[in-house]
Amino acid sequence: MKNVKEIFATRNRKMNVAHSARAHQQGQHGNTQSGTFYQCPMKCEGEKKYKEPGVCPVCNMHLAPVETIN
């Protein structure tokens, strides 16, 4: 029997694949503005930021855009 963590991880991966496919079809994938960074809304990796949108390697949630101070 799968534990709760495995069930949610599988569900999140399926949702992320569907979201990525939709974003690609709509031409939104990879269109980032310079100066925009992304990080996990749950802060799984502390304050680690990424240059491109994607999913958190720890919890599989979508990375959220964060404002940067110029």
Determine the length of the chain: 70
Percentages helix, strand, coil for the chain (3-state, rounded to 5) are: 30, 15, 55
In the structure, how many helices (H) and strands (E) does the chain have?
Answer: 1, 2
Phi, psi of 67 (to 5 degrees): -80, 140
Percent of the chain whose predicted confidence (pLDDT) is above 70? 53
pLDDT per residue as tens digits for the range 7-25: 667 766 666 655 555 555 5
Q: What span, in angstroms and rounded, lies between the C-alpha atoms of 28 and 34? A: 15
Rounded to two decimals, what is the model's pTM? 0.49
Predicted confidence (pLDDT) at residue 39 exceeds the cutoff of 70: yes
